[in-house]
Copies of this chain bind each other. A is one copy, B any other.
């Protein structure tokens, strides 16, 4: 038998080799979203590991949202990265114990920054969308409708910031609210009942965005969260 290929201090686990390899190919631009990865057997031979190990690595990448697998076809680089990530996030959050106040505080922090950035980065289309969601929100008859348009309004504001890090973080946050703490959502909806104070906060907030008036927008935001904090 040949001598052990005693490489280095670091004995990388086989599946980690796969992960690092794919990461590298993506980061160097060699692999782009939508591209197909080499076959499992090919990677196994190329990296000098077994197919089972390749599969372990690919499963992890898939779970991280980096790749997707298609039975009979192959593995592909994902087009959208943030969906499965929120699953990981939410599990961790759940295990660490959700702190509702902290979640709201963090959400406020993100929206505040978004308001600031939106002043210079919001497109006309986004401004229009925000206004439309406000209209729909004010006209909404059911609590569910109010919830939907409220969320959409805030999400559009976040997107108008143009900052991907901020957008990703906010998406993960709302996902946690949406899928993992129905109680939380219920309380929000409960507090969403037609209410002058809340409606006024939204109007002020949107007016600030439309007119490029930062302090007005922030005032609306503050009033909004002031109200939210009452219901938690």
Contact among B26, B63, B95, B110 for A60, CB-based, below 8 A: B63
Cβ A164 vs Cβ B96 within 8 A: yes
Cβ–Cβ contact B106 & A163, under 8 A: yes
Residues of the B chain whose Cβ atoms lie less than 8 Å from the Cβ of A173:
165
Q: How far is the CB of A50 from chain B (nearest CB, A)?
A: 10
**A86 CB to nearest B CB, Å:** 10
- A47 at interface, CB cutoff 8 A: no
Interface contact A91-B164, CB-CB below 8 Å: no
Minimum distance in angstroms from A129 CB to a CB of chain B: 21
Size range of the interface on A? 35 or more
Q: Which residues of B contact A15 (CB under 8 A)?
A: 59
Closest chain-B Cβ to A169's Cβ sits at a distance in Å of 5
Q: Which of A1-57 contact B (CB under 8 A)?
A: 5, 15, 23, 26-27, 52, 55-56
Q: Are A96 and B110 in contact (CB under 8 A)?
A: no
In the assembled complex, the Cα of A15 lies from the Cα of B52 at a distance in Å of 13
- Tell me the bound Cα distance from A179 to B88 in angstroms: 20
The CA of A64 and the CA of B117, in the complex, are separated in Å by 31
Judging by beta carbons under 8 Å apart, are A106 and B166 in contact? yes
**18 residue pairs from A and B, CB less than 8 Å apart:** A27-B94, A52-B52, A52-B55, A60-B63, A66-B95, A82-B92, A88-B88, A93-B164, A93-B165, A99-B164, A102-B164, A102-B165, A105-B163, A106-B165, A106-B166, A109-B110, A109-B113, A165-B173
Binding site for B on A (CB under 8 A): 5, 15, 23, 26-27, 52, 55-56, 59-60, 63-66, 81-82, 85, 88-89, 91-97, 99, 102-103, 105-106, 109-110, 112-113, 117, 162-166, 168-169, 173, 179-180
